[in-house]
Amino acid sequence: MIFGNGCWIQKKGCSCFAPQEVYFTTITDDKVTMCVPTYHVRTRGDVLGNVNLTMEITSPADDILRIRTYHYKGAIKDTPSFELELKDNRKLDINDSEEEIVIKSGQMSLVINKKQFSMKFMRGNEVITTSTGRDLALMKTDWKGLAYDPGDDDETYMRQMLSLAVDEKVYGMGERFTPFIKNGQTVDIWNADGGTSTYQSYKNIPFYLTNKGYGVLVNHPEEVSFEVATEMVTRTQFSVKGSYLDYFIINGPTMKEVLGRYTDLTGKPSLPAPWTFGLWLSTSFTTNYDEETVMSFVNGMLDRGIPLRTFHFDCYWMKEFHWSNFIWDERVFPDPEGMLKRIKAKGLNICVWINPYIGQESVLFDEGMKNGYFIKRTDGSVWQWDMWQPGMAIVDFTNPDACKWFQSKLEVLLDMGVDCFKTDFGERIPVKNVKFHDGSDPLKMHNLYTYLYNKCVHELLCRKRGKEDAVLFARSATVGGQKFPVHWGGDCWSDYESMEESLRGGLSLLMSGFGYWAHDIGGFENTSTADVYKRWVQFGLLSSHSRLHGSSSYRVPWVYDEEAVDVVREFTRLKAKLMPYIYKNAVETSKSGIPMMRSMVMEFEKDRTCPFLDKQYMFGDSLLVAPIFNEDGLGSFYLPSGKWTDFFTGEVYEGEKWYEKKYDYLHLPLFVKENSIIVLGSCDDRPDYDYEKDVEVRIYAPEEGKEISADVYGMDGKVRMSVKAVRNGNTVTVKHEGSGSVARITVPEGLEAKLS
Q: Does residue 263 form part of some domain?
A: no
Residue 424 annotated in active site? yes
> The CATH number of the domain where 352 resides is what?
3.20.20.80
Q: In Å, what is the CA distance from 536 to each residue of 255, 493, 502, 564?
A: 29, 12, 11, 11
How many other CB atoms are found less than 10 A from the CB of residue 468? 15
Q: Give the active site residue among 152, 175, 246, 424.
A: 424
> Which of 736, 738, 740, 735 is closest to 692 using CA atoms?
740
Q: Does residue 469 form part of some domain?
A: yes
- SS3 annotation, 48-83: CCCCEEEEEEEEEECCEEEEEEECCHHHCCCCCCCC
SS3 558: helix
Question: How big is the chain by its Cα radius of gyration, in Å?
Answer: 27
Boundary (domain end) residue, out of 568, 592, 616: 592
What's the pLDDT at 612? Answer: 98
Q: Does residue 429 contact residue 388 with C-beta atoms inside 8 Å?
A: no
Same domain, 694 and 666: no
Q: Does residue 536 form part of some domain?
A: yes
Report the domain count for the chain.
Answer: 4
According to DSSP, residue 722 is labeled: E
Residue 149 annotated in active site? no
For 485, phi then psi, to 5°, come to -75, 165
Same domain, 150 and 120: yes
Q: Does residue 269 form part of some domain?
A: no
Between strands 517-518 and 487-488, the pairing is: parallel
Boundary (domain end) residue, out of 649, 672, 695: 672
Distance of CA 205 to the CA centre of its chain: 8
Q: Does residue 515 form part of some domain?
A: yes
Same domain, 573 and 466: yes
282 vs 684: CA distance, rounded Å: 22
Boundary (domain end) residue, out of 537, 560, 592: 592
Burial (CB < 10 A; 0-12, 13-18, 19+), residue 201, is buried
What's the pLDDT at 468? Answer: 86
Q: Does residue 647 form part of some domain?
A: yes
Name, in order, each residue with C-beta under 8 angstroms of 531's C-beta and a sequence gap of 6 or more: 631
Same domain, 105 and 53: yes
What's the pLDDT at 467? Answer: 86
For 18, phi then psi, to 5°, come to -110, 140
What's the pLDDT at 756? Answer: 85
Beta strands in 155-288 (DSSP E): 156-163, 170-174, 185-189, 204-210, 214-218, 224-228, 235-241, 244-251, 279-282
SS3 174: strand
Alpha helices in 246-287 (DSSP H): 255-266
Same domain, 54 and 198: yes
Q: Report the predicted TM-score, pTM, of the whole model to 2 decimal places.
A: 0.97
Q: Does residue 739 contact residue 720 with C-beta atoms inside 8 Å?
A: yes
Name, in order, each residue with C-beta under 8 angstroms of 635's C-beta and a sequence gap of 6 or more: 626, 628, 659, 660, 661, 662, 663, 668, 669
Q: Give the active site residue among 231, 491, 520, 588.
A: 491
> Which of 118, 110, 133 is closest to 17 using CA atoms?
133
Q: In Å, what is the CA distance from 403 to each residue of 374, 407, 460, 589, 634?
A: 11, 6, 10, 29, 51
What's the pLDDT at 379? Answer: 97
Is the peptide bond between 80 and the residue preceding it cis, with omega within 30 degrees of 0? yes
Q: Does residue 267 form part of some domain?
A: no
Q: Does residue 527 form part of some domain?
A: yes
Same domain, 652 and 709: no
Burial (CB < 10 A; 0-12, 13-18, 19+), residue 466, is exposed
Q: Give the active site residue among 222, 231, 419, 427.
A: 427
What's the pLDDT at 49? Answer: 86
Q: Does residue 628 contact residue 537 with C-beta atoms inside 8 Å?
A: no
For 206, phi then psi, to 5°, come to -75, 60
Torsion over CA of 136, 138, 142 and 147, rounded to 10 degrees? -140
Q: Does residue 71 contact residue 158 with C-beta atoms inside 8 Å?
A: yes
Q: In Å, what is the CA distance from 482 to each residue of 41, 136, 236?
A: 47, 31, 25
What's the pLDDT at 77? Answer: 81
172 vs 225: CA distance, rounded Å: 14
374 vs 398: CA distance, rounded Å: 10
Same domain, 576 and 623: no
Beta-bridge partners for 52: 37
315 vs 693: CA distance, rounded Å: 40
Distance of CA 294 to the CA centre of its chain: 31
Bin 710: left if φ > 0, else alpha if -120 < ψ < 50, else beta.
beta
Distance of CA 432 to the CA centre of its chain: 28
Same domain, 289 and 330: yes
Residue 96 annotated in active site? no
Same domain, 633 and 582: no
Same domain, 310 and 205: no
> The CATH number of the domain where 231 resides is what?
2.60.40.1760
Low-confidence ranges of the chain (pLDDT < 70): none
Name, in order, each residue with C-beta under 8 angstroms of 642's C-beta and a sequence gap of 6 or more: 655, 673, 674, 701
Same domain, 24 and 142: yes
| Helix (H) or strand (E) run with residue 311 in it | strand 308-313
669 vs 645: CA distance, rounded Å: 10
> The CATH number of the domain where 695 resides is what?
2.60.40.1180
658 vs 207: CA distance, rounded Å: 32
Residue-number span of the structural domain to which 687 is assigned: 676-755
Same domain, 243 and 348: no
Name, in order, each residue with C-beta under 8 angstroms of 457's C-beta and a sequence gap of 6 or more: 354, 406, 407, 410, 421, 423, 472, 484
Between strands 597-598 and 617-619, the pairing is: antiparallel
